[in-house]
Amino acid sequence: MQQTDAQPLPQGAGDPGWRQTHLGRLLGHALRRFDERVLVLMARNVLVPLALSNLAARGQVGAAHIHITRHLAVQGSRLTDLAASAGMSKQAMGDLVDQCEAWGLVRRAPDPHDKRARQVLFTDAGLLWLDAFKGAVAQAEDEFRQAVGQDVATVVALGLEAYCGA
């Protein structure tokens, strides 16, 4: 008989259920579901330029690209500020900006306050995309309220605001 040095499992560690249902995991699932719904709605929006709509419909635009849409200031942002706001590395955000620039969503331009720096700005097509994003978010939020009820949706929103320190 072989003897092992295995440590006894902490109480409850053998039950995998908690790993599937804890709040963080549920929040992650909810965010992915919400973002996926927003992208579907944006792909169907007739005001979104056709090329961008097609990219969204084919799943080429993902949750990572939503970070730019969520965090890029309408008047423009420096890449470092955009990355910090989205909670991403500067390099990862730079890759997303490169992709969005190739798609015509954003452009880079000299920063008017610092000639050494550059800022990322929405293009005209990007502003249409942003407007479609606003409408899709509103519709997805309405669908959430319909699915869980107005009272639960209000409590969820208030709880998340309190938790995030908003």
Write out pLDDT tens, residues 49-100: 766 777 776 777 777 778 788 899 999 999 999 999 988 999 999 999 999 9
In this prediction, residue 155 has a pLDDT band, given cuts at 50, 70 and 90, of very high
Is the pLDDT score of 2 beyond 90? no
Which of 64, 61, 67, 68 minimizes the C-alpha distance to 45? 61
Cβ atoms of residues 47 and 132 within 8 Å: yes
* Average pLDDT for 114-140: 92
Fold for the domain defined by 25-164? Arc Repressor Mutant, subunit A (1.10.10)
- First vs last C-alpha separation in the chain: 59
Q: How far is CA 35 from the centre of its chain?
A: 6
* Average pLDDT for 28-53: 83
Structure tokens at 121: 């700005």
Cβ atoms of residues 133 and 74 within 8 Å: no
Mean pLDDT estimate for the chain: 86
Write out pLDDT tens, residues 108-120: 999 988 888 899 9
Structure tokens at 101: 């620039």
The torsion angles phi and psi of 108, rounded to 5 degrees, stand at -105, 145
Please tell me the distance from the alpha carbon of residue 72 to that of residue 83, in angstroms, as a whole number.
9
Whole-model pTM: value is: 0.78
Proportion of the chain above pLDDT 90, given as a percent = 49
Is the pLDDT score of 11 beyond 70? no
The torsion angles phi and psi of 86, rounded to 5 degrees, stand at -85, -5
Name 107's bridge partners.
121
